[in-house]
Amino acid sequence: MTLDKILTIFGEDQGVGCDIACAFTATVRDSSIGEQAHLHRLLLALNAFHGYAHGCACMLKFHPLYLSGLGLEDLETCERVFSASNSVAPLVRHTSHFPYLQFINLHFQPWDNDKYLDLSKQTTLMLVRSFY
């Protein structure tokens, strides 16, 4: 199970975002890793966008806006990646495996480069701020 692996490798105080954190909390609690999840203080949170479709009580308990430890994270990174990669689908719909992989790589290579560039800008800015 993925959560078992997360708890085993990364240890305590891990947060996981999912579309149905309210229902998934009960599933994890009643599963074979329920005690381990409790001892390791596993935090299950709703993805920010999906949180607004849930009831008020659920949203107040599981929405990242109301949970400490998640910072400004909205837990929607995968949604953004999948949404951006949808532009590749018409190009690879009828290709064989190798061109399919090439197009996927052509799509994600600039994406990765842009993300790494943004990280370096943020790191440089933090270093400059801490220096002064």
Please, are residues 110 and 82 in contact by the beta-carbon 8 Å criterion?
Answer: no
pLDDT at 122: 64
Residues 11, 43: one domain? yes
| Ranges of residues in the chain whose predicted pLDDT is under 70 | 51, 121-132
Angle at 92 between CA 86 and CA 95, to 5 degrees: 165
pLDDT at 124: 63
pLDDT at 78: 82
Residues 104, 118: one domain? yes
Residues 69, 10: one domain? yes
Residues 58, 94: one domain? no
The range of the structural domain enclosing residue 132 comes to 77-132
Give 86's contacts (C-beta < 8 A, 6+ positions apart).
Answer: none
Q: Is 122 helix (H, G, I), strand (E, B) or coil?
A: helix
Residues 70, 5: one domain? yes
pLDDT at 130: 58
Residue 42 Rama label (left phi>0; alpha psi -120 to 50; beta) = beta
Q: Mean pLDDT for the chain?
A: 85
Helices of type H across 40-96:
48-51, 56-62, 77-85, 89-92
pLDDT at 120: 73
